[in-house]
Structure 1
Amino acid sequence: MSRYSLMTALLMTPMVITGIATAATAANDTPLKQQREDLTSFQVIAHRGASGHAPESTLAAYELAHRWGVDYLELDAQLSADGEVVLFHDDTLERTSDGEGHIHDYTLAELKTLDTGTWFHEAHPERTEEEYRGAQILTLDELFDHFGHTTRYYIETKSPDLNPGLEEALVERLEAYDMIEQGRVLVQSFDQESLLKVRTANPHVPLIQLLWYSPSEQDSATLTEWNDTTPGADSIRDEDFERIAEYAVGIGTNAAYRGHEVIDADFVRQAQTHGLSVHVYTINGQDEMKRLMALGVDGLFTDYPDRLLELVSE
């Protein structure tokens, strides 16, 4: 070997080794691991889509949020009477449609006859987008067909007691669209048992435990959690976060109750110390967004993702 060839080989060796190491690292990476890594960065979560600008849970609201480049489209999953996974928040139809009664008492075909857009004009008479009128209830399949793997989805199992079999039906759809292995979905619930059912159906689904803190009815100075999943936020212990971390990758929580703060920076750091991301719902004012970002939270749910994206880009 010539001196030139020897020197070239010696110079190239570190590059080759680095390239091999990089390739090996890439081979060990998976979309699920990447999703978990991304959760350590701040996440913009479009609550029922851009629901401050368009009727919640409609294609119009999700299209706006997706166009703006949010990290997650948030939605509520329920079951129709014939077992279809549909996107709707309330247990009953009256607030956001021209129907009445419980959503799970109607077949998908019956739900599709309802108008879920006109109410938005009545609630926001300043809005002039006529195309919102007549918007239909979406199925999860329709949302997935529309956006595919171009975004991520933050799905709540809504009212599990009223939707028996929801968890299994949801996981079946997630698997059919390869949303789990491709790192495209988080599943959230206030109901711990519902989350554990999802984990049983597919242990790879990343889960978020929702929490709601408010003053005790017996003692307004004492905070309690709605489902007693944890003690009050002001007295939560390491073991409480450790227990959640056994099955979940994060928590979703309120930050205040009727204007009074219920979590602080210590709460956020304590959760994060145990490997839990902290996402706060539902924040629409930029001053409050700034305050919570300063506390170090990992993401915010908002009806106005454009406002939050403006702050994130600063």
Structure 2
Amino acid sequence: MRKHKLFALVLLSFGLLSFIVTPVSAAGKGNLLSPDRILTIAHRGASGYVPEHTILSYETAQKMKADYIELDLQMTKDGKLIVMHDEKLDRTTNGHGWVKDHTLAEIQKLDAGSWFNKAYPEKAKPQYAGLRVPTLDDVLKRFGRHANYYIETKAPETYPGMEEKLIASLKKYKLAGKHAKPGQVIIQSFSKDSLLKIKKLDPKLPAVQLLEAEQLTSMTDADLTDIKTYAVGIGPDYKALNAQNVRNIRSHGLLLHPYTVNSEADMRRLLNWGVTGVFTNYADIFQKVKKEYK
């Protein structure tokens, strides 16, 4: 029996717990959004090994059997959705300035891989040089219905119309609407307004509210109850979690997918507390930890 289950039963015998989360093994069955599943979410793809948010990063994550690949969205000057974490080009390409000030054609000429070789020489590979910034459609076309997508609307206040364009692309590839598989796409954002807009455009798309550490620290039961009205879960900074607030979050019926969990020790601790998945740069490591977790 798992240690956390034994601990929970002891607490129950003293009437100290009214709700207990019982995670299952990595081979958990059922719906992707079932609380009985522990999800491996490939943060920016297999970004611990490959330049983030590139097709190769997502292909690598797929080979690692990640449950979801994570996409961060920005929008170009000419209104095209691209997959990139930062609002500026400088960190992950040889370009400079804001994404919103450049056209797609300009961004597609940039090198989105050489930075990784310089930053992580021990992981450098020649084929990383010259990797390109993909559009949302590039990723959806490449993987289609053979992948699950965890998509973040980044800085939606900077990009009017981002949500409508996202829904249009998802429908184009039958990832939203009547042909969509439940849970194949999850939309996440730090912006409640953006998530509410998504829910209005497509009520069937599950949403997850992202939270900074300080937001989680000040979270009340009323806040969690409110989040439950429009989201299936929350995605907080894992550093703000502890055994008590994990139990409280889960007692509100919310899924819990903290970011960004990269060490085995943190993975094991969070699983023992009862999280239902993690964002990680090392999907292969979390898959291994899940298999060992009993």
Q: What TM bracket, shorter-length normalisation?
A: 0.7 to 0.9
What is the root-mean-square deviation in Å for CA atoms of aligned residues? 1.4
Q: In the alignment, does 2:227 pair up with 1:244?
A: yes
Shift of 1:255: 2.1
SS in 2 for 1:167: helix
**Whole-Å Cα distance in 1 between the matches of residues 115 and 201 of structure 2?**
37
Q: Is the 8 A contact 1:40 1:277 kept in 2?
A: no
Q: Percent identity at matched positions?
A: 41
Partner of 1:55: 51
Greater relative contact order (CA < 8 Å, ≥ 6 in sequence): 2
**2:152 equivalent to 1:156:** yes
Q: Unaligned regions of 5+ residues in structure 2, if any?
A: 1-29
Task: Return the alpha-carbon distance in structure 2 between the equivalents of residues 291 and 282 of structure 1.
Answer: 14
Task: Give the partner amino acid of 2:33.
Answer: R
Decide which structure has greater strand share. 1
Distance apart, 1:36 and its partner CA: 2.7
Flag the structure with larger Rg. Answer: 1
Q: Indicate the residue corresponding to 2:92 in structure 1.
A: 96
Structure 1 position 121, deviation (Å): 0.4
Aligned to 1:35: 32
Structure 1 distance, partners of 2:190, 2:125, is 34
Any gaps of 5 or more consecutive residues in structure 1?
A: 1-32, 215-224, 226-231, 257-261
Alignment of 1:122 onto 2:118: yes
Residue 182 (str. 1) matches residue 176 (str. 2): no
Query: Cα–Cα, structure 1 residues 254 and 128, in superposed 2: closer, same or farther, change >3 Å?
Result: closer
Q: CA deviation at 1:128?
A: 3.6
Q: 2:116·2:124 contact (CA, 8 Å) conserved in 1?
A: no
Deviation at 1:249, TM superposition (A): 0.3
Native 8 Å contact 2:260 2:281 kept in 1 = yes
Q: Secondary structure at the match of 1:34?
A: coil
The equivalent position to 2:236 in structure 1, one of 253, 260, 267, is: 253
Residue 307 of structure 1, CA deviation: 1.0
Q: Which residue of 2 aligns with 1:219?
A: none
Report deviation, 1:238: 2.4
How high is the TM-score relative to the length of structure 1? 0.80
Moved over 6 A (4+): none
Kindly provide the CA deviation profile for residues 116-144 of structure 1, in whole angstroms up to 9, marking residues without a partner as x.
00000000112341111101100111111
Give the residue type in structure 1 aligned to 2:70.
E
Listed one character per residue, the Cα deviations across residues 172-197 of structure 1 (whole Å, up to 9, x for unaligned) are 11111121322310000001111111
**CA distance in 1 between partners of 2:31 and 2:52 (Å):** 29
Q: Match for residue 263 of structure 1?
A: 241
* 1:67 and 2:63 are equivalent in the alignment: yes
- Structure 2 Cα separation of the partners of residues 126 and 263 of structure 1: 32
Cα distance in 2 between the residues matched to 1:251 and 1:288:
18
Count of residue correspondences:
259
Q: What's the counterpart of residue 6 of structure 2?
A: none
Q: What is aligned with 1:303?
A: 281
Residue 311 of structure 1 aligns to which amino acid in structure 2?
Answer: V
What is the distance in 2 between the residues matched to 1:248 and 1:312? 25
Counterpart amino acid of 2:103? T
- The secondary structure found in structure 1 opposite 2:165 is helix
- Quote the Cα distance in structure 2 between the aligned partners of 1:128 and 1:271: 40
